[in-house]
Copies of this chain bind each other. A is one copy, B any other.
Amino acid sequence: MSQRNTAVTDQVTDCPIREVLALIGDKWSAQVLVELGDGPRRFTQLERAIEGVSRRMLTLSLRNLERNGLVTRTVHPDSPPRVEYATTALVEEIREPLEALSAWARRAAPAITEARHAYDTRREEPVTPRA
């Protein structure tokens, strides 16, 4: 079974939000779901769409999503091989809150940047009074 696909998921505690993170909280899975939101995609399409992902990690992410019932994998008996991934009904149920979080991220970005700057400068000044 190569690389243990039970990696991210399985047991956590019993905090629901932790369960969600266990499902899509790794580096690429959430973005995969986003890409699949516009309809089924082939492996290479995903690879190109998701900037910076390696084939290895894309495969692992897709395997996990598939194992947890969030993504389906259908192999078309063509040559060259042709595999399509798609989201399941389970994912539809979280599309909306996920969109809400995305929208919030965009809206809050300036405030967050400012908060970071404020925090950082607030912690630097006491160290180097002048300079």
| Residue in B104, B106, B123 whose beta carbon sits within 8 Å of that of A94 in the complex | B104
Measured between beta carbons, the chain B residues less than 8 angstroms from A18 are: 30-31
Q: For the complex formed, measure the closest distance between the CB of A85 and the CB atoms of chain B, giving whole angstroms.
A: 15
Measured between beta carbons, the chain B residues less than 8 angstroms from A52 are: 13
Measured between beta carbons, the chain B residues less than 8 angstroms from A111 are: 69, 90
CB distance A115 to B15 under 8 Å? no
Binding site for B on A (CB under 8 A): 1, 9-10, 13, 15-21, 23, 25, 30-31, 34, 51-52, 66-69, 90, 93-94, 96-98, 100-109, 111-112, 114-116, 119-120, 123
CB distance B16 to A103 under 8 Å? yes
CB distance A16 to B105 under 8 Å? yes
| Residue in B9, B101, B116 whose beta carbon sits within 8 Å of that of A97 in the complex | B101
How many copies of the chain does the oligomer comprise? Answer: 2
CB distance B100 to A23 under 8 Å? no
CB distance B20 to A101 under 8 Å? yes
Measured between beta carbons, the chain B residues less than 8 angstroms from A66 are: 119
Measured between beta carbons, the chain B residues less than 8 angstroms from A96 are: 97, 100
Task: Take A30-B21, A31-B15, A52-B13 as given contacts and tell me if A94 and B101 are in contact as well, using a CB distance cutoff of 8 Å.
Answer: yes
| Residue in B68, B90, B94, B106 whose beta carbon sits within 8 Å of that of A16 in the complex | B106
